[in-house]
């Protein structure tokens, strides 16, 4: 979730149009199901099977209803989530969600301090080490918290 929150912060920066044919798509998501971790005040994922089987007319039909909070599992936090005048997800151009991704690894710091807050220095240190600016990159933040998934208490630090 943190990586996607940072992605939302990067949406305000300009970046070149991605060349999708020369890159590769990487699925960073976890399964979205009854084990999905949600923000503590959010409703959990609910799936209601409406029908799965043969109908009275003899043909197969399957349909479900689902209800879910927006802040659970692998998701993007829209800039609007924390910025009154920020974009909602539907207003973010798709090309802003594709591009070169880089990983800023703070997992050792997070392991030493579960309440570690990312610092500007984490990003400037990455830039110095790699000789590149992050302005035109999609920044993925590796916290190491994925090792706790889907244990809600270990992942979120609370029930």
In a domain, 50, yes or no: no
| Residue range(s) defining the domain that contains residue 128 | 2-38+70-156
pLDDT, tens digit (0-9, with 9 covering 90-100), for 41-95? 898 888 999 999 999 999 999 999 999 898 888 888 899 999 999 999 999 998 8
For the chain, what percentages of helix, strand and coil (3-state, to nearest 5) are there?
A: 30, 20, 55
Long-range contacts of 51-55 (CB under 8 A, 24+ apart): none
Number of folded domains that form the chain: 1
Handedness of CA 11, 14, 17, 23 (dihedral sign): negative
Residue 80 is assigned to a structural domain of this protein:
yes
Q: State how far the Cα of 28 lies from the Cα of 139, in Å rounded to an integer.
A: 13
Evaluate whether residue 61 is within a structural domain. no
- Give pLDDT tens digits for 81-139: 999 999 999 999 988 888 888 999 999 999 999 999 999 999 999 999 999 999 989 99
Instruction: Tell whether 102 is covered by a domain.
Output: yes
99 belongs to a structural domain: yes
Answer whether residue 55 is part of any domain. no
Give the residue from 73, 69, 76 showing the smallest Cα distance to 6. Answer: 76
Residue 44 lies in a domain: no
């Amino acid at each position: 979730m943190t990586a996607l929150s940072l992605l939302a912060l990067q949406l305000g920066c300009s970046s070149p149009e991605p060349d999708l044919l020369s890159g590769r798509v990487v699925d960073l998501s976890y399964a979205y199901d009854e084990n999905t971790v949600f923000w503590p005040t959010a409703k959990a994922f609910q799936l209601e099977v409406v029908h799965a089987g043969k109908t009275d007319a003899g043909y197969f039909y399957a349909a479900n209803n689902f209800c879910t909070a927006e802040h659970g599992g692998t998701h993007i936090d829209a800039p609007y989530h924390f910025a009154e005048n920020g974009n909602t997800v539907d207003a973010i151009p798709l090309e802003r969600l594709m591009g070169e991704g880089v990983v800023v690894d703070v997992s050792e710091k997070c392991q030493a301090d579960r309440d570690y807050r990312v610092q500007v220095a984490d990003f400037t240190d990455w830039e110095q080490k790699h000789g590149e600016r992050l302005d035109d990159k999609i920044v993925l933040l590796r916290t190491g918290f994925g090792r706790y998934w889907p244990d809600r208490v270990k992942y979120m630090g609370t029930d």
